[in-house]
Amino acid sequence: MSKDYAVIGLGRFGGSICRELSREGKQVLAIDIDEAKVNEFKNIASHAVILDSTDEESLKEIGIHNFEHVIVAIGDSLQASILTTVILTDLHVERITVKAQNDYHEKILRKLGVDRVIHPERDMGRRIAQNIISNNILDF
């Protein structure tokens, strides 16, 4: 079964991506190790599964390589995020976006060949700073 997107980790960041993609009418598979999180997304995403993404066999079983774009939004556990990413690259997932927690995490992700690395807090901070500057310019 081929679907468009898979989001691994349904915290605030992954959950928000999942909601927005679904709102835009995209096919999204929501994945989390936590049953309560998965239940929360059953009626939001097209599909939702409880799964440990560090388990290669589980990812193979759901046919993760068929997804066009997989978003890894595991925050706290660098180990789980990195291991999940290694599995996804080994399985030749076409497009992978990963949430990085810090520069060290980003460096490892880049070494793994991930071209889409996001630091939500840092990126949003930069954007807001730019907004503040442009608003100030408009004010003058």
The 10 Å Cβ neighbour count of residue 87 is 19
Distance set, CA 117 to CA 110, 112, 113 (Å): 8, 11, 10
13 contacts ligand ATP (rule: CB under 6 A): yes
Interface with ligand ATP in residues 44-73 (CB under 6 A): 52-54, 73
Pick the closer one to ligand ATP by CB: 12 or 42.
12
Pick the closer one to ligand ATP by CB: 9 or 114.
9
32 contacts ligand ATP (rule: CB under 6 A): yes
Q: How many CA atoms lie within 13 A of 20 on its CB side?
A: 7
Among 12, 23, 107, 116, contact with ligand ATP (rule: CB under 6 A): 12
Count the residues of the shown chain that bind ligand ATP, applying the rule CB under 6 A. 21
For residues 85 and 89, what is the distance between their CA atoms, to the nearest angstrom? 6
